[in-house]
Amino acid sequence: MYTVTILEYVGVFAFAVSGAYVAIEEKLDLLGIYILAMVTAMGGGIIRDIVTNVGIPVFFSSRGAMLIIIIAATMSIFIKEKWTNSMFFIVMDSLGLAAFTISSGIKAIDNNYNLLLFIFVTSITGVGGGLLRDIIINRKPVVFRKEIYCIAGIIGALVLWMTYPNLGKSVSVYMSLLTIVTIRMVSYVKGFNLPVILKS
């Protein structure tokens, strides 16, 4: 779908900026900045394609995605202070999470994946790049420490799963998109986080 493709490019841009910014924070060199931007933007999709055995991961044949990553990383180098923690970036990041989740979910449903595999491919596509980014720089993954992020994707994916058979592709896509973005944005603005269990 054209709309989902556009949103995926928004997601690639947002995730590449996220990776580049973290690389700058960690004082990586120029190569490290571009590599971390690429891993963050493409990692989730690559893991998904390897696990589901679809052949060469689709991102490696996407010139558009590679160009967007290069542009995003380069822009981050020059205007790094303006990207993170701004509402513009959070909105883009939310749209990207939704787009990656939905596009993977549609492919999973069309390929008759069961619910467990459906949840896996939608979740790993949305958060896998960030997990790899944090592993590379040797820190606890952000997705496990703060913010309602992966959960927003899972809930939106379940909306897609339940509505797709009865309401059709277009309606289910927009319902899932609205669900993910709303949960992500409200939790960010309100500062909602999952509880952390502390040792007594």
96-107 pLDDT, tens per residue?
888 889 988 988
Rounded Cα gap, residues 198 and 200, in angstroms: 6
- Model pTM score: 0.84
68-89 pLDDT, tens per residue?
999 999 998 888 666 555 777 7
Contacting residues for 129 by C-beta, under 8 A, at least 6 apart:
15, 19, 39, 40, 41, 42, 43, 44, 45
Kindly list the distances between the CA atom of residue 57 and the CA atoms of 26, 62, 97, in Å, as whole numbers in the listed order: 28, 10, 19
Q: Residue 2: what pLDDT?
A: 62
Residue 198, SS3 per DSSP: coil
Rounded Cα gap, residues 154 and 152, in angstroms: 6
Rounded Cα gap, residues 179 and 71, in angstroms: 29
The band of 118, judged by pLDDT with boundaries at 50, 70 and 90, is very high
Rounded Cα gap, residues 144 and 33, in angstroms: 23
| Residue whose token pair is 């339940």 | 162
| Residue whose token pair is 């069309």 | 110
Contacting residues for 119 by C-beta, under 8 A, at least 6 apart:
154, 157, 158
| Residue whose token pair is 């590599």 | 35
Q: Residue 55: what pLDDT?
A: 80
What's the farthest any 2 CA atoms get from each other in the chain?
52
19-50 pLDDT, tens per residue?
888 898 899 999 999 999 999 999 998 998 88
